[in-house]
Amino acid sequence: MINRMVVANILHRPVRTVVSILAVALEVGMVMVVVGLTTGLLQETAKRVEGVRADILVQPPGASFFFGLTQAPMPIRIGDRLAEIPRVYAVAPALFQFNSTGGLNIIYGIDMASFDRVTGGFVYHAGGPLAAPYDILVDDWYAKANRVKVGQTLNFLNHDFRVAGIVEHGKGARLFIQLKTAQELSGAYDKASIFFVRCSDPGYTEPVVNAIHQLLPRYQVLSVKEYMSLMTSNNMPALNAFITAMIAVAVAIGFLVIFLSMYTTITERTREIGILKSLGASKTYIVEVILREASLLSLVGIAAGYGAAVIARKALLAAFPTLSIDLTVEWALWAALLAMVGSLVGALYPALRAAQLDPVDALAYE
């Protein structure tokens, strides 16, 4: 019976209902998309690094494992010393260039020969390898998103680059230029941001990591396995703070709208609450009616939020095809829990206020 009354109340005030549902949907959708974007970005970046097929990553001291956040170059000759370590099959240096023209991109400055040796070589969809200093390789996702063709000129780092080839995605970056060009453009002559180290067999990773640690005690040496496990927002304080802030904003929106909605409801329905009290409804009963109403609004809002997240994902991917948005079941459940708890907390004060109403005053309310 309470449920029927709750549904009737919700249907009786459609504008309030729609606004409340939209607020909860916004909350759920926002949480899912923000987390999905960051998780997707991290996972996609990690996958691309894994796609280089190196076993070990060597970076200078204090470098971020989220490439591109710091360039922190180190002497290129370190590569020769790494290559001398037993069971090292190949070493490929790369210099990261952070480009913000026409979107945010990390460009890898690479030495084609060593990079091919570590990765096993690019798969070309069109064109061929880097030949001239201002040649550039773009991956197929970037090419599709930006309608790039071989031979076309692209402006990066305030220079024009000729697209030499379109390669299969998944080899570290989406854009590759020659290492020497990258060094010249950044003034980091004979420097590299990272060394991708491939062992003669992945089983040798641990002894090789130990050997590198001995050789370069202060440097950051990570097996790719470790790197993959570290690529979560929990290991990136700035990203984690951003996610937390966005979730807090989303929850605050849901909480405040439900609070206002239920508070208004109590005022509007003072007389009805008086009627229930005259029939002998206890304070618990009144609180239950209000909280059930908030729960129902929240449930519909959560469902709408899921729909909104899926639609937002599709729209974002259509507009920015290189993005990766990972909508996970885990975060769908977290978003639902946050929305439900936020709604119930938001409805609690109005519910308690309704329960405390004096029945005589409530019945006399105009």
Partner 1 sequence: MEPIIATQDLKKIYRVGRVEVPALRGVDLLVQEGEFLAVAGPSGCGKSTLLHILGGLTPPTSGNVLVDGNDFSVMTDADRTRFRRHKIGFVFQRFNLLPTLTARQNIHIAQHIQGNGYNPHRFDAVVNMLGIRDKLDHKPYALSGGEQQRVAIARAVICEPKMLLADEPTGNLDTENSQIVLNMMRALNRSFRQTILMITHNPEAAAVADRVVRMRDGRIVSD
> With binding defined as CB under 8 A, does residue 132 bind partner 1?
no
| Residue whose CB is less far from partner 1, 92 or 297 | 297
Output the furthest CA–CA distance in the chain (Å, rounded). Answer: 91
> With binding defined as CB under 8 A, does residue 94 bind partner 1?
no
CA distance 23 to 7: 19
- The H or E element spanning position 98 is strand 88-99
Sort strands 175-178 and 105-110 into parallel, antiparallel or unpaired.
Answer: parallel
Stretch that binds partner 1, among 134-142, 160-168, 198-206, 268-276 (CB under 8 A): 268-276
Stretch that binds partner 1, among 246-254, 266-274, 303-311, 343-351 (CB under 8 A): 266-274
Residue from 112, 272, 292, 338 in contact with partner 1 (CB under 8 A): 272
> With binding defined as CB under 8 A, does residue 8 bind partner 1?
yes
Question: 330-362 b/e with 16+ CB inside 10 Å = b?
Answer: ebbebbbebbbebbbebbbebbebbbebeeeeb
CA distance 34 to 160: 34
Q: Least CB distance from residue 244 to partner 1, whole Å?
A: 40
> With binding defined as CB under 8 A, does residue 352 bind partner 1?
no
Question: 295-328 b/e with 16+ CB inside 10 Å = b?
Answer: ebbbbbbbebbbebbeebbeeeeeeeebbbbbbe
CA distance 139 to 299: 42
Residue 131, classed as helix, strand or coil, is: coil
> With binding defined as CB under 8 A, does residue 282 bind partner 1?
yes
Of 78, 49, 71, nearest to 183 by C-alpha is 71
Residue from 149, 213, 271, 314 in contact with partner 1 (CB under 8 A): 271
DSSP state of 76: T
Contact 308, 28 (CB under 8 A): yes
Q: Least CB distance from residue 146 to partner 1, whole Å?
A: 55
CA distance 68 to 48: 14
Stretch that binds partner 1, among 99-107, 252-260, 329-337, 356-364 (CB under 8 A): 356-364
| Residue whose CB is less far from partner 1, 6 or 34 | 6
Stretch that binds partner 1, among 36-44, 91-99, 269-277, 298-306 (CB under 8 A): 269-277
Stretch that binds partner 1, among 8-16, 114-122, 163-171, 180-188 (CB under 8 A): 8-16
Distance in angstroms between the alpha carbons of the first and the last residue of the chain:
26
Instruction: Tell which positions 10-49 bind partner 1, by CB under 8 A.
Output: 11-12
The residues that bridge with 96 in the sheet, in sequence order, are 108
> With binding defined as CB under 8 A, does residue 139 bind partner 1?
no
Residue from 210, 235, 264, 278 in contact with partner 1 (CB under 8 A): 278
Of 12, 22, 1, nearest to 265 by C-alpha is 12
Residue from 285, 323, 334, 352 in contact with partner 1 (CB under 8 A): 285
DSSP state of 123: P
Residue from 187, 280, 318, 330 in contact with partner 1 (CB under 8 A): 280
> With binding defined as CB under 8 A, does residue 281 bind partner 1?
yes
Residue from 15, 217, 234, 279 in contact with partner 1 (CB under 8 A): 279
| Residue whose CB is less far from partner 1, 217 or 280 | 280
Q: Least CB distance from residue 285 to partner 1, whole Å?
A: 7
Residue from 47, 81, 180, 283 in contact with partner 1 (CB under 8 A): 283
CA distance 326 to 32: 9
Q: Least CB distance from residue 260 to partner 1, whole Å?
A: 20
Stretch that binds partner 1, among 82-90, 137-145, 165-173, 353-361 (CB under 8 A): 353-361
Residue ranges in contact with partner 1 by CB under 8 A: 1-2, 4-5, 8-9, 11-12, 271-272, 274-283, 285, 358-360, 363
